[in-house]
Structure 1
Amino acid sequence: MVSPAWCLFRTKNIVKKEARCSRCLTWVSYKHNTSVLLNHMLTAHGLSYQDLCKIRNSQDCKNDIVMTTTNTSMRNAQAMFFATCNIPFRVVESPSYREYITMLRPDFPLTNANAVRDDIYKMNNTYRAQISEKIGNRKDLCLITDGWSSSKAEFTLYAILAGYMDNRGLMLQQLVGVFDVKSSAAVDLHQDFITELKSSGLSLNQFGSMVSDGASNLKALADRLKIPKLHCCSHILHLVVSEAITLKPIHSIIEKAKLIARKLNKSGTLRIQIRKLAQFSNNSSALPQSYSKTRWNGVVDLLMTTKNHIGSLASSPDFSSMLFTGNELRLMEVVIQLLEPVKITSTRFEARSSQASESYPYLKFLKHQLTELLDTILKDPENKSIVEQAKSFGCKLLKCLDNRIASVGENSIVPQLMLIDPRFSYSSLLTDEQWKGAEEKLLAEYDDSTVAGPLLLPVSSKSKSCSMDVFLSSGQQSVSNNGSQKSKATKEIEAYRNQIKESRLSSTSDPMAFWSTNEAKYPILSQSAHKFLAIPASSASSERLFSSCGRILANRLRNRMQPETCSALLLVQAKSGMEKLEAWRENPSADQEYEGDALDDEEDDEHIYSDQSDDEINPIGGSGDC
């Protein structure tokens, strides 16, 4: 398509929307269509497109008016602005906004709120078409899903994300649908999922696994789809902490910290006062914040921020009735010590690069850490006055964690995930029989006609030693060979087993780097690696998505928003993230790893919960159990 003749007109009459040809000085009316200018040059002066390019690059055109963007690109940029900045569409009808746009681009046709909404819907459709083209033929997708409801908006949204591994060995999680549901029952969700995926050119039979919270309707949905379901590991740890803090002494401390946070949230004067008091001791940490009961690690953050400002709070008479006793402060310190490793592990699971194969090993390692830490705490003479409370809390925390670990270990797909991950395969975490069972399940997916999957490009890997490696290497298990005649896949597993037992990868290394290097050696097993290592350890990406959704609906100026509009906004934001990913893939930074799309980070949504109750923002499955 030929570009407009933006290089040939020196002056413009803005009122009459005319421009003067720089060659014959004829005034040409262009209104909203710059192609009229191009037609004038092509017909009146007999110039070709090549001639126009030469004139554009010539010295004579340095002072010509430059119009490098078209009205379509301006409309798209405007739509993306409104989709990503959480501003009501009717701002485009503001006289000040119109004046500003006219100054930037006099010939740009001014739009109204409905036009902006239509442009966002068009971009939403474009994004869905890109998804269909990109992963419409894949059969190894992981279904990442969660639900979210808002009593203010009076609708319930479910998100569908597709997890997969690209040909670079990069884990990706792409938003493919957001939709409103009338009923959360599994049978209704099944049909809604089919309809929503069809809009993006996908189908449910392309998904081979599911990751979500412990909601019963999602478990039933996975059973209907006949695919293995993994419980989000960050949510598992959230449930562990929620059960452990119900002990009366711990609950009392948390409630007192909540009162302090609520009082600070309601009064800007008190916040300024506490910050000034904190400055005298060079304390710049965040003030205590109220948190939703469904927010992961919220209780840890609350106790840590409260502890950091104990001195400042004690200096203020407004908090004299909320001060902690000496034993309470000591017990708070112990609780923080025990919950800190839980938070670190949960944060690891939240990372977009975290894989489901890490779930069981790192939960077991967390139990090992907590056991040693509790033993150290109970032996500390400074904790003599609160030793019974500390022991009760520590034992309950370990018991809750142990129950969850057992639940994860009973999941039939977990041994397969660990087997295909060279960091954890054939370690002492599972018995000989469990490793044999994992091999049999893996072999059951193949026959003699199986061919190798797509070739993976080499991926860089940095190996570092850590205590996790020591934990994994404590007692290697031996797996006996099957004496029967072996298929190609069986021979690959035998060779793979021997290689792993000779030299295990570091726990911090990239398992896909191993399969990229050894794909020619293990062409069949590499297919399983491509499939299983794309399954994330948590559904944190959907939580980040609904953090964005909460910000959209928290805007009181958007009280008439429909669920279709909210869905389109979230998908257009994902489109922006997809474009950033493509740009990164064209020019990746050597020292920076791509961290996903434009979905928000968890730490940015604290202010939402400080002003709203738990009923106003409630992840449906967030408080569900397994």
Structure 2
Amino acid sequence: MASPVWKFYKVSEKDIKFAVCCVCSKGISRGGDKTRNFNTTNLIRHLKVCHAKEYNEYTMLASEKAEGDRLQATCKPKSSLAQLSIEQTLQRGEPYGKDSKKQKEINSKIMEFICLDHQPLSVVDDVGFKRLVNHLDPRYVHQGRKYFTDVCLPEIYNTVYDHIKTLMSNVTSVSFTSDIWSSSVSPMSMLSLTAQFINEDFELKKVVLHSREFAGSHTAEAIAGAFRDMYQAWGIPMEKVHVILRDNARNMEKAMKDAHLPSLPCMSHTLQLVVQEGVLSQRSIGDIIAIGRRIVGHFKHSQLAYSRLQTIQKQLGQDPKRLQQDVPTRWNSTLYMLRSLLEEKRALCTYGADYDLPAMLTASQWKLVENMISLLAPFEELTNQISSSSASAADVIPATRALRRLLRKTADTDQGVKTSKATLLDALERRFSDIESEPLYTIATVLDPRYKDRYFSDELKQKIRGLLSHVLSLTDAAGPQEEHSGEAKGSEPPEKVPRDGSLHAMYAELLDDSEQHDGVDSGNPSSAQMNLYLTEAVIPQNRTPLTFWQDNRSRFPSLAQAARAYLCAPCTSVDSERLFSAAGNIIDEKRNKLTAKNAEMLIFLKVNLPVMLLAKESKGNNKTLSV
């Protein structure tokens, strides 16, 4: 900002080295021959000596300007680019201390990165990783694999373990899934134990408790002992165990009986056996599957053959697609293989006209493939339904009744598969013959507001009411319940009309055939709740049962508490299978020497760490990571 003295001067037009006085028009030197030497000293002196009035005015203006500059400097925030002291500069360049907060935070985030993204512990020793971290924070002191294995991994495991234990502390009933897995890259077998429960807000929670090493022979006695040890390690009393979902292996079934643990077979495994016995074991269909595998294998093992098939697909105006290989232990993968072959029928026939194929389906076999896909479509629909995260034991009885009804109907696509259809129905009825005598299934079905008692015969309805009354009496004895009002909460939007011939359409037919209860009044509050609940209409099939109970727990307090126990039971052991999919990504070729203890901690954290992080996120403690 210019000096106030320039109010009384102007730069000489003839020579910028002089300023002309506005009072006497005299030229005054500006203090030098070069611009960098110019100053106002001579100008101020001239006013002071020759023009006293103007000088006094100048001093007043200069004083006001100085005060304004001072106030501005006081109010202006300090710049973040302010020069640091020598001591601060030295400290800023020093590495973090071993126990510094920042060093520990970065170690924790690196450990989270390893657990969440299936990274090997050796990644911390990789050159690229070190360069990245050094670029992000040069002060961080790199730690080796041993430090993360021996220090960071147990620390974060203990933190998550405490969180999961707290999460389960107020739960009265827990359901579990279990399975045994063997690694293909190391001599290690593991026994899983996953838990799921419904909290007080009627939210379904899923956690992993164990994926422990299971060495030695997999006898029923060894399995039963392992379960007792796992429950003891978590302090879970046997009365909290609602049910364990297991596979159909005899050793696992016997182990549950020996350990006096309630268990149910995995519905997905049972469906696998039904389809295997009813369809895939048929000779005509077995021949088709064998030919399909040879065709798929031909293109899978020859890049040249696959390139030729791609060219043909493009010439026919089709999107290039790979044929799907099936897995014998997953019947639906065989269905997907046959479906992919049928979709590429034109391309395969064109390919076979110009090039050699190891085998080819005949016209009658192609027709049989088409009809078999239609026959198995409801089983695929059911498999997808029961494999969802919200599926429960309540789905088993309605689903099997809907399947039976569908298989008894005749269809245009039955040509060539009538025998398979009859065999399939027989296998279904035999494998699921005793489900309606299992209280864990029947009570769960009644407590699901989508089903209630509409899928049972009149004779069974009376027996189930007696079972449910007994369950409610135990619930009432556990503690006082909330008072309920007679008003229902919320209204359900209309459900989509199901496609004819689908499994969903069978649910609608079964509901139409069912008669509702008369709702006999009773002086017992629990019986009154049950009568009112059963006389009301079921909610649409695509609605969530837990949302219903969350909205109506004050109307049906005893029923709502029973629903928390019975609807937490899954109908498959899919959670354990998914757990071991994660185990296969952790114990791989790069980590085939990983110890069983460290492997269990990594698997535990892969599944449970997101549970803790999301809980922190919901409380606003962690806004930087969404899992």
Q: What's the TM-score bracket when you normalise by the shorter of the two chains?
A: 0.7 to 0.9
User: Is 1:163 the equivalent of 2:163?
Assistant: no
Partner of 1:472: 510
Q: Which has the higher contact order (CA 8 A, sep 6+)?
A: 1
Corresponding position: 1:377 with 2:405: no
Return closer, same or farther for 1:209/1:459 CA change in 2, 3 Å cut-off: farther
Shift of 1:286: 4.5
CA distance in 2 between partners of 1:162 and 1:495 (Å) = 32
1:537-552 mapped onto 2 (5 Å cutoff): 537-552=571-586
- Answering whether residue 450 of structure 2 is matched by residue 423 of structure 1, we say yes
Partner of 1:569: 602
Assess if the C-alpha contact under 8 Å between 1:128 and 1:201 holds in 2: no
- 1:540 is matched by which residue type in structure 2? V
Tell me if the contact between 2:492 and 2:540 (Cα under 8 Å) persists in the aligned partners. no
Preserved CA contact (<8 Å) 2:160 2:609: no
SS in 2 for 1:323: coil
| Residue number in structure 2 paired with 1:206 | 240
1:154-205 per-residue CA deviation (whole Å, 9 max, x = no partner) reads 1211211111112332222211211111243233223323333444454544
In the alignment, what sits opposite 1:83? 115
**Structure 2 letter corresponding to 1:557:** K
Q: 2-side partners of 1:281 and 1:579: how far apart?
A: 52
Q: CA deviation at 1:8?
A: 11
Which residue of 479, 498, 506 corresponds with 1:451? 479
Deviations along 1:10-31, one digit per CA (max 9) or x if unpaired, are 79xxxxxxxx945866633774
CA distance in 2, matches of 1:203, 1:184: 24
Q: Report Cα offsets for 1:123-177 as digits up to 9, x if no partner.
A: 2222211111110342210011122112432121121111111233222221121
CA distance in structure 2 between the aligned counterparts of 1:331 and 1:573, rounded to whole angstroms: 44
Unaligned runs of 5+ residues in structure 2 are 1-77, 499-504, 621-625
After TM superposition, list the pairs within 5 Å mapping 1:390-469 onto structure 2. Answer: 390-427=417-454, 429-445=455-471, 446-447=473-474, 449-451=477-479, 462-465=493-496, 466=498, 467-469=505-507
In structure 2, what is the Cα distance between the partners aligned to 1:406 and 1:200?
Answer: 36
Query: What one-letter code is carried by the residue in structure 1 that aligns with 2:96?
Result: N
Counterpart position of 2:328: 293
SS of the aligned residue for 1:473 comes to: helix
Quote the Cα distance in structure 2 between the aligned partners of 1:455 and 1:323.
69
Give 3-state SS (helix, strand or coil) of 1:211's partner. Answer: strand
Partner of 1:342 in structure 2?
379
- Matched to 2:114, the amino acid is F
| Residue 18 of structure 2: aligned partner | none
1:28 pairs with 80, 91, 96, which one?
91
Amino acid at match of 2:274: V
Q: Any conservation in 2 of the 1:21–1:28 contact (CA below 8 Å)? A: no
Q: Distance in 2 between matches of 1:160 and 1:109?
A: 38
Match among 290, 295, 301 for residue 266 of structure 1? 301
What's 1:364 paired with?
Answer: 401
CA distance in 1 between counterparts of 2:483 and 2:129 reads 51
Instruction: Return the match for 1:487 from 520, 524, 530.
Output: 524
Q: Is 2:229 the counterpart of 1:195?
A: yes
Moved more, 444-453 or 543-552: 444-453
Match of 2:358 among 318, 321, 333: 321
Counterpart amino acid of residue 442 in structure 1: L
After alignment, is 361-370 or 525-534 more displaced?
Answer: 361-370
Q: Under a length normalisation based on structure 2, what TM-score does the superposition of the two structures give?
A: 0.76
- The match for 1:307 among 338, 342, 349 is 342
CA drift at 1:307: 1.6
Consecutive unaligned residues of structure 1, counting only runs of 5 or more, are 1-6, 12-19, 38-68, 379-386, 588-596, 599-626
Query: How far, CA to CA, are the matches of 1:26 and 1:453 in structure 2?
Result: 65
The SS at the match of 2:445 is: helix
Structure 2 Cα separation of the partners of residues 36 and 26 of structure 1: 21
Displacement, 1:246?
0.7
How many angstroms apart in 1 are the aligned matches of 2:406 and 2:375?
Answer: 9
Aligned 8 A contact 1:148 1:157 in 2: yes
State the distance in 2 between where 1:142 and 1:36 align: 42
Displacement of 1:535 after TM fit?
A: 1.4
Secondary structure, in 3 states, of the residue corresponding to 1:425? coil
Whether the aligned pair in 2 keeps the contact of 1:176 and 1:197 (CA below 8 Å) is no
Letter in 2 for 1:73: E
1:132–1:202: 8 Å Cα contact kept in structure 2? no
The CA distance in 2 between the partners of 1:8 and 1:71, in whole Å, is 27
- In the TM superposition, what is the alpha-carbon distance from 1:36 to its structure 2 partner? 11
Is 1:285–1:308's contact at 8 Å kept on the other side of the alignment? Answer: no
CA distance in 2, matches of 1:101, 1:455: 58
Match of 1:351 among 375, 379, 388: 388
In structure 2, relative to structure 1, the CA distance for the partners of 1:545 and 1:449 (3 Å cut) is: closer
Asked if structure 1 preserves the Cα contact closer than 8 Å seen for 2:405 and 2:506, the reply is no
Q: Distance in 2 between matches of 1:400 and 1:211?
A: 21
The structure-2 alpha-carbon separation of the partners of 1:221 and 1:36, relative to structure 1 and needing over 3 Å to count, comes to closer
Distance 1:250 1:222 in 2: 37
Kept after mapping to 2: 8 A contact 1:236/1:404:
yes
Q: How much identity, in percent, do the aligned residues show?
A: 19
Distance 1:88 1:581, change over 3 A: closer
Kindly tell me: are residues 463 and 538 of structure 1, through their superposed partners in 2, closer, same or farther at Cα, counting changes over 3 Å?
Answer: farther
Kindly state the Cα deviation for residue 97 of structure 1 after the two structures are TM-superposed.
Answer: 2.8
Aligned length: 528
The range that moved more, 274-283 or 544-553, is 274-283
**Residue 217 of structure 1: CA displacement?**
2.7
TM norm structure 1: 0.76
* Cα contact 2:172–2:240 (8 A) shared by 1: yes
Match of 1:98 among 130, 135, 141: 130
1:44 corresponds to: none
Instruction: Please say if residues 228 and 413 of structure 1, whose CA atoms lie closer than 8 Å, have aligned partners that are also in contact.
Output: no
C-alpha distance in structure 1 between counterparts of 2:182 and 2:99, whole Å = 51
Deviations 1:98-142 (A, max 9, x none): 233222221212122222323233322222111111103422100
**Contact 1:341/1:370 (8 A) holds in 2:** no
Q: 1:179 to 1:10 in 2, by over 3 A?
A: farther
* Residue 343 of structure 1: how far off its partner (Å): 0.5
Residue aligned with 2:178, SS: strand
Instruction: Deviation per CA, 1:402-430: give whole Å up to 9, x if none.
Output: 22232333323221111212222221x31
2:597 alignment partner AA: E
Question: Aligned residue for 1:4?
Answer: none
Deviation at 1:282, TM superposition (A): 4.1
Match of 2:534 in 1: 497
The residue identity in structure 2 corresponding to 1:102 is: N
CA distance in 2, matches of 1:405, 1:481: 31
Residue 398 and residue 468 in structure 1: after superposition, are their counterparts in 2 closer, same or farther (change >3 A)?
A: closer
Distance 2:220 2:98 in 1: 54
| Residue of structure 1 equivalent to 2:545 | 511
Q: Distance in 2 between matches of 1:319 and 1:140?
A: 61
CA contact (8 A) 1:146 1:213 kept: yes
Residue matched to 1:50: none
* RMSD, aligned α-carbons: 3.3
Aligned equivalents of 2:235, 2:316: Cα separation in 1: 59
Cα offset for 1:223?
A: 2.3
For 1:41, the equivalent position in structure 2 comes to: none
- Letter in structure 2 aligned against 1:505: I
Amino acid at match of 1:27: L
Q: Distance in 1 between matches of 2:510 and 2:85?
A: 76
